[in-house]
Amino acid sequence: MKLLVLPGDGIGPEITEATLTVLEAASRLFKLDLSFEEQKVGFAALKAHGTTMPDGLLGRVAESDGVILGPLDQLAYPPREKGGVNVSAVFRVKLDLYANIRPARTRPGLGKVKEPMDLVIVRECTEGFYADRNMYQGSGEFMPTPDVAMSIRKVTAHACERIARRAFEISLKRKKHVTAVHKANVLRMTEGLFLDKVREVAAEFRGVKLEEVIIDAMTAHLVRTPGRFDVVLATNMYGDILSDLASELSGSLGLAGSVLAGDALCCAQAQHGSAPDIAGQDKANPTSLILSAAMLLEWLAERKKAKACGKAAEAISAAVDKVLADPKKRTADLGGKLGTRAFAAAVAAAL
Ligand code: ATP
C-alpha cells in the first residue's frame, strides 16, 4: 500500500518523521507492505517551487492509497497570487474529504476534567463559515469599503445530510448517542437547515438517541460533564473549535488523532496547528499525527478490506496508551521529559 507523505510546516517535519518511525515498525510487524512517497507542501514547497501547493499534487494523491498531511501555517503564507495556497482547504473541497473525524478521550493520569471523557467529533469541512471555499469563483470573503469586511457562510442540504449520516453510522459502533451542535436560535435558516437534515437522518437510525445542544452551552457542558457525550456532530467552525477544546481537556492539543475522510480517500492530519513556537526543538508531542495515521489504517482496513491494517491500528493505539501511562515517557506538553524522536521510538518499541 502506498501512502503519500506531506510533512508541512512548523513541527510538521518532526511529527511526520516520528509517525513514520511508528508506521514502519507496524508495517514490519503486521506485514502491511507500506511504502511512502514524500512530497513538499507549505513553506518548503514555496521555497522550491514558488507555491505552497506544487502542480500535480492532486494527481499524486489520486495515485496513493492514503495521505499523511502535516500541519500547515496558512496564516503566515503570502497571498494566493504570490504562491500562498491553503493546501488543506483545497484537499477538503477538491478531493471531497467532507468528514473530519476527531476523537478525544482521557487516559488514566491524564486529562483536565473531573470525569472520564471519550467522544468523537464529526465535523463537516467543505463549507460553513469557511468563506474561502464557498464560492464557485472568487472568495466568499470581501471588503466593499476599507472599513467594512463581509463573508458568506454556506450551508447545503447535501453536505448536512451526508455528515449527519456519517455521525449516526459512527454512533452505531459506540454508545448510540449523537449530539448535534447548532445556533438555530439566531441563525434560523442556515442552522435550521442543518437541524432539519440531522433530524431526517436520525429518523432512519431508530436505535440512536439524538440530542440538540446550542454551541455556546456546549462549551460549558463539555468542560463540566464531558462524560455525557459520545458522538458530537457539528458544522465546520463549531467542530474545529470544539475539537481543540476537547483535545486540550483530554490532556494536550498534541494528543488527539484526526482524519479527513471522503467516500474514496482518507487523509491523516493532526488536529493541532503547526506550532511554530516549538518547531525544530524536538519538543512536539507527535501523538496526534501517530493516532491520525492509525485512524487512516483503520479506514483502509474497512474500505479496502485490509484486515492487517485494522490490527496494526489497534496495536498503535494500545502502544500509545502504554507509553503515555508512564509519566517518565511523556513529552513536555504533558510535563514529561521525552523529545519527539524518543517518544516515537518508545511507541514503536511498545508495539
Ligand atoms: P498555527 O498558526 O499553525 O495554527 P499555532 O501555534 O497558532 O499554529 P497550534 O499549533 O494549534 O496553533 O498551537 C497552539 C499551542 O499549542 C502552541 O503553544 C503550541 O506550541 C501548542 N501545541 C500544538 N501542537 C502541539 C504538539 N503537537 N505538541 C506540543 N505542543 C503543541
Any catalytic annotation for residue 77? no
244 is catalytic: yes
Ligand 1, CB within 6 Å, residue ranges? 10-11, 71, 73, 75, 253-254, 272-278, 284-285, 288, 333
- What pLDDT, on the 0 to 100 scale, is given for residue 185? 95
- The radius of gyration of the chain's CA atoms, rounded to the nearest angstrom, is 20
Residue 266 near residue 96 (C-beta atoms within 8 A): no
Size of the chain in residues: 351
DSSP assignments along 6-46, one per residue: E--STTHHHHHHHHHHHHHHHHHHHT---EEEE---THHHH
What was the pLDDT predicted at 132? 84
Q: How far apart are CA 324 and CA 328, in angstroms?
A: 9
Using CB atoms within 10 A of its CB, is residue 351 exposed (0-12), middle (13-18) or buried (19+)? middle
Please choose, from the candidates 221, 228, 230, the residue with its C-alpha nearest in 3D space to the C-alpha of residue 104.
230
Would you say residue 108 has pLDDT above 90? Answer: no
Q: Would residue 216 show up in a list of annotated catalytic residues for this protein? A: yes
Where does the pLDDT of residue 145 fall: very low under 50, low under 70, confident under 90, or very high at 90 and above? Answer: very high
pLDDT, residue 291, reads 97
What is the secondary structure of 299-313 as a DSSP string?
HHHHHS--HHHHHHH
| Higher pLDDT pick, 138 / 167 | 167
Given a cut of 90, is residue 109 above it in pLDDT? no
pLDDT tops 90 at residue 336:
yes
Per-residue pLDDT tens for 184-202?
999 999 999 999 999 999 9
Nearest alpha-carbon partner for 88 in 259, 211, 313: 259
The one-letter amino acid at 213:
V
Condensed to tens digits (0 to 9), the pLDDT of residues 236-291 reads 999 999 999 999 999 999 899 999 999 999 999 998 999 999 999 999 999 999 99
Element (DSSP H or E) covering residue 85: none
Q: Among all chains, which residue has been given the C-alpha cell 473531573?
A: 114
The pLDDT value recorded for residue 243 is 96
The gap from C-alpha 1 to its chain's centroid, in whole angstroms, comes to 22
How close is the Cα of 274 to the center of ligand 1, in Å? 6
Q: What are the φ and ψ backbone dihedral angles of 181, each rounded to 5 degrees?
A: -100, 135
Backbone phi, psi, residue 158, to 5°: -60, -50
The residue to mutate among 253, 281, 291, 334, having the most atoms of ligand 1 within 8 angstroms of its beta carbon, is 253
Segment (H or E) for 86:
none
Q: What is the mean pLDDT of residues 90-118?
A: 93
CB 301 within 8 A of CB 253: no
Characterise 176 by phi-psi region: left (phi > 0), alpha (psi -120 to 50), beta (else): left
Ligand 1: which of 243, 272, 343 to mutate, most ligand atoms within 8 Å of CB?
272
Query: Which one from 216, 263, 304, 326 is the annotated catalytic residue?
Result: 216
State the catalytic residue, choosing from 197, 240, 329, 333. 240
Identity of residue 117:
M
Reply yes or no on whether the pLDDT at 213 is more than 90.
Answer: yes
Count other Cβ atoms within 10 Å, centred on residue 49: 15
